[in-house]
A and B are shown apart, each in its own frame.
Chain A
Amino acid sequence: MRKDLETTLVTGKRKPFWFVKELIKYRELIFFLTLRDILVQYKQTFIGLAWAIFKPVTTMVIFTFVFGKIAGLPSNEIPYPILVLSGILPWQFFATSLINSSNSIVSNRELVTKIYFPRMALPLSSFGVAIIDFFISFVILVILIVSYGLVFSWKIVFIPLAIFFCIVLSSGLGLLFSSLNAKYRDVSHALPFFIQLSLFISPVAYSDSIIKGNLKIYFSLNPLTGLIGIFRWCLFDNISIEWQSLCVSLSITLFLFIIGYFYFTFSEKYLADVI
């Protein structure tokens, strides 16, 4: 008789940080779930890849035309297409990862009701596709910057930090909405609408320098403002950071993450029953 048998206690009670331990134990599953989503997305390589290029490029062209040419908004001496694309990148990462993670529990209903694994693995593993999409768009941005003859700022090394910021933001909301979605299916109808709105209230198609005075602080309540600001700061030398609004954005992001995490841990054990 072996003595190294692990013992599992099955009860209704779980400690808040038990989830972290379980996630580490099931890290291979997270890897495979991520891989599955990526494979399925890009299996029909041409469509998957073409779509990942088509979306940001078209948005960029239209926004440049509407906001740059027709409305004639200023762009801090950055060519307008590049200004727009550098805003679309983080926004699109946010949008894709939030939609995917919010749907992750419902679309994997079969798994949730038939097998045990830490449920948090589902929203977390739905970031893979968004990350790949992000890199594809990033390559387009780099090509664009080079072809305009611009110089990259040394601050580009902070890009991973910006991505991390974005992951924290969308995983917090993703955890919240994925568990809410399991219970209230209207979440998946409402969410795309609000994400679409966020495209306009965030400085994606315009520079945040056009927002002046008191309005600034209201704008920074939207964590995407800080996120896009940080992202542009990483890329261009002539963009400075507004520390005050960044701090507001960061604290709101952190706050949303904590809410999402605890709501998820609270509802996790009932997911299989309510879904």
Chain B
Amino acid sequence: MNSIEVINLKKKYKLRSARKARYDTLRDTIVEKVKLLGSIAIKNRSFSIEKSTDFWALKGVSFEVKQGERIGLIGANGAGKTTILKILSRITIPTQGFAVLRGRVASLLEVGTGFHPELTGRENIFMNGSILGMKRSEIKKQFSQIVEFSGVDQFIDMPVKRYSSGMFVRLAFSVAAHLESEILLVDEVLAVGDIQFQEKCINKMKDITEKQDRTIVFVTHNMAALKRFCQRALYLEKGEIVFDGQVEKAIENYLALGDSITGKIKWPDHARPGNNDIKISKMEIINQDLKPEKSIYISHKYYLKITYEVITDNVKPQFSVVLSDKEGTCLFGSINNTDKEFYGKKVLKGNYVTMCEFYANLLNAGTYLLSLIGFSGNFTEQFRIDNALSVEMLDDGILKGDYPGNYGGLFRPKLIWKTEKIDA
């Protein structure tokens, strides 16, 4: 029996060109309408009308998911993965087509949706649980298990604003892991929290699916998690399903795509990623001579250059860069909070460039992917650009010295060796 049936789903978004304001104002709308009237009346095209263009995020997607099946959705940014989840979870409506879901649906597009910093852990469990669709009686029944699973029992009556971010994520996750719905829609949420806890969550969810025959739709960029967790995968490209079937084959499709990611990306004004405060306009890999370059020698340092516009005053731009291998396994991340002169200070509107230096002798030869996560103050309002850039590390042999063979592994650090003779 099918748990989810999706039939010819289409979704259209309107893109406005060259818009800087973060929302419509009544004035804009009136001005536009008057211009339109004016141009009709005088039949003159000199009135420049901002024409909105249509963007099809989904161009007719159909698939079925059997009950108890765990299916992964993969593809580049903007391929339509999240749009599918948003439609299935009824956050937004399809422009055309429909879907049938059999069973209670819970969606997890973000960890800790609805958590309020002023409320205690206990209050937030109830709040968050009911937002995720749990009944009060269910939350009560599972309350002690949720608290135990999260490991924050000592702090449960403390406002969550005093929690560390790790504790916050663990508590939020625990609520989600105890959802008792028949269908669970999960977006890349497993990318936060510490690895051990992620593992615990994956196992818990896996456990529930196997025992309770639960259906899971999982959007991810992490091929390792996909392999471990899903039985089937859909590979999407530009709003269409290109491949539907075995996880391994879908990953092959996805990796082939990885080669097409470049060391430089620039967004047109209307499509700039970001949130209400910040819009990213450009990201590039810069070599040690400060020139854009995708291929970097292992023994050279290089930079990630982020060019962005701050749209509102008094914003605190915060960035986190995550470097992963081609399969999506995270190697490391870094936050710009080491930039003491800039970080945490409110900045005014304008264009900014943030550089992140990667030191020489860090990665082994190979291709790596860079993702950017952005915040605008206190780690809220996040946006992420997964696998925005790729950087190719070339072996210049300097570190090898007289060694003729190859190094394995993902890193190639220049470690410090020293030998002394000791007298026995």
Contact = CB atoms under 8 A, between A and B. Distances in A.
B98 A9 contact: yes
Contacts of A185: 23-25
Contacts of A114: 91, 109-110, 113
Interface string A1-41: 10001111111100000000000000011011101100110
A273 B130 contact: no
Contacts of A7: 100-102
B87 interface: yes
Interface in B165-189: 182
Given A8-B90, A184-B29, A273-B13, A36 B119 contact: yes
A29 B126 CA distance: 10
Given A43-B118, A117-B131, A269 B26 contact: no
A40 B89 contact: no
A186 interface: yes
A115 B131 contact: yes
Contacts of A251: none
B127 interface: yes
A269 B92 contact: yes
A216 interface: no
Contacts of A1: 1, 67
B109 A10 contact: no
B365 interface: no
B283 to A, nearest CB: 24
Interface string A161-197: 0000000000000000000000111110000000000
Given A11-B93, A116-B107, A111 B113 contact: yes
Interface in B61-103: 67, 86-96, 98-103
Interface residues of B, number: 48
B90 A184 contact: no
B26 A184 contact: yes
Name which of A6, A9, A32, A274 has the most chain B CB atoms within 10 A of its CB.
A32
Contact of A115 (B94, B107, B123): B107
Given A5-B103, A184-B24, A10 B98 contact: yes
B60 interface: no
A20 B136 CA distance: 20
B118 A39 contact: yes
Contact of B103 (A6, A184, A274): A6
B99 A115 contact: no
A167 B255 CA distance: 57
A249 B272 CA distance: 49
Given A6-B104, A185-B23, A40 B118 contact: yes
Interface string B119-138: 10001001100111101100
B126 to A, nearest CB: 6
B312 to A, nearest CB: 12
A117 to B, nearest CB: 7
A272 interface: yes
B113 A10 contact: no
Interface in B1-39: 1, 13, 23-27, 29
Contacts of B89: 115-116
B114 interface: yes
A113 interface: yes
A110 interface: yes
Contacts of B25: 184-186
B304 to A, nearest CB: 28
A112 B105 CA distance: 17
Given A29-B130, A36-B127, A39-B123, A10 B182 contact: no
Contacts of A32: 126-127, 130-131
B131 A8 contact: no
Contacts of B126: 32
Contact of A269 (B93, B102, B123): B93
26 contacts: A7-B100, A8-B90, A8-B102, A10-B87, A10-B90, A12-B93, A12-B95, A32-B127, A35-B127, A36-B119, A39-B123, A43-B118, A43-B159, A111-B113, A111-B114, A111-B131, A114-B110, A115-B89, A115-B109, A116-B90, A117-B131, A117-B133, A184-B25, A269-B92, A270-B93, A274-B24
Interface of A: 1, 5-12, 28-29, 31-33, 35-36, 39-40, 43, 110-117, 183-187, 269-270, 272-274
Given A12-B95, A28-B136, A183-B23, 20 more contacts: A9-B98, A9-B100, A10-B90, A10-B94, A29-B130, A31-B130, A32-B126, A32-B127, A35-B127, A43-B159, A110-B113, A110-B114, A115-B107, A115-B113, A115-B114, A115-B132, A116-B91, A185-B24, A270-B92, A273-B13
Q: Which 5 A-B pairs have the closest CB atoms?
A: A116-B90, A10-B99, A11-B98, A8-B101, A269-B93
